Amino acid sequence: MALILIVEDDPDTQEILSMIVRSEGHTPRVARDGLEALAMLRSETPALVILDLMLPLLDGLEVCRRAREFTYVPILMLTAKGTEVDKIVGLEVGADDYIAKPFDPGEVRARLRAHLRRALLWQKPPLAAPPPLERGPLRLDPARYEATLEGKPLNLTRLEFDLLYCLAAHPGIVFSRERLMEQVWGAEEYIVPRGIDVHISRLRNKLEPDPAHPRFIFTVHGVGYKFAG
Here the CATH number for the domain that contains residue 115 is 3.40.50.2300
pLDDT band at 34 (very low <50, low <70, confident <90, very high): very high
pLDDT band at 147 (very low <50, low <70, confident <90, very high): very high
**116 and 150 in a common domain:** no
**215 and 167 in a common domain:** yes
Minimal CA–CA distance to 181: which of 225, 140, 218, 143? 225
Tell me, yes or no, whether 128 lies in a domain. Answer: no
Give every strand in the sheet of 75-79, ordered side by side: 27-31, 3-7, 48-52, 75-79, 97-100
Domain extent at residue 203 = 133-227
Tell me how many domains the chain contains.
Answer: 2
**142 and 201 in a common domain:** yes
Fill in the amino acid letter for 58.
L
Winning range, highest mean pLDDT, from 88-92, 108-112, 135-139, 182-186: 135-139
CATH of the domain at 160: 1.10.10.10
| Residue that finishes a domain, picked among 123, 150, 176 | 123
Phi, psi (degrees; rounded to nearest 5) at 66: -70, -35
Tell me, yes or no, whether 118 lies in a domain. Answer: yes
| Residue that finishes a domain, picked among 74, 98, 123 | 123
Pairing of strands 75-79, 97-100: parallel
Q: Quick one: residue 84, left, alpha or beta (phi over 0 = left, psi -120 to 50 = alpha)?
A: alpha
Distance CA 116, CA 55 (A): 24
- Rounded to the nearest integer, the mean pLDDT of the chain is 86
Whole-number pLDDT of residue 16? 96
**147 and 76 in a common domain:** no
Task: Spell out the residues 6+ positions from residue 207 whose beta carbon is closer than 8 angstroms to its own.
Answer: 138, 149, 154, 164, 214, 215, 216, 217
Are 169 and 218 a contacting pair, CB within 8 Å?
no
| Residue that finishes a domain, picked among 60, 93, 123 | 123
| 54 burial via Cβ count (<10 Å: 0-12, 13-18, 19+) | middle
Provide mean pLDDT across the span 42-50: 92
**207 and 113 in a common domain:** no
**76 and 48 in a common domain:** yes
Tell me, yes or no, whether 20 lies in a domain. Answer: yes
Residues 116-134 have pLDDT tens digits of 877 665 555 554 567 889 9
pLDDT band at 91 (very low <50, low <70, confident <90, very high): confident
**106 and 138 in a common domain:** no
Residues 47-89 have pLDDT tens digits of 999 999 999 999 999 999 899 888 888 899 888 765 666 666 7
**152 and 114 in a common domain:** no
Q: Could you give the percent of the chain with pLDDT greater than 70?
A: 87
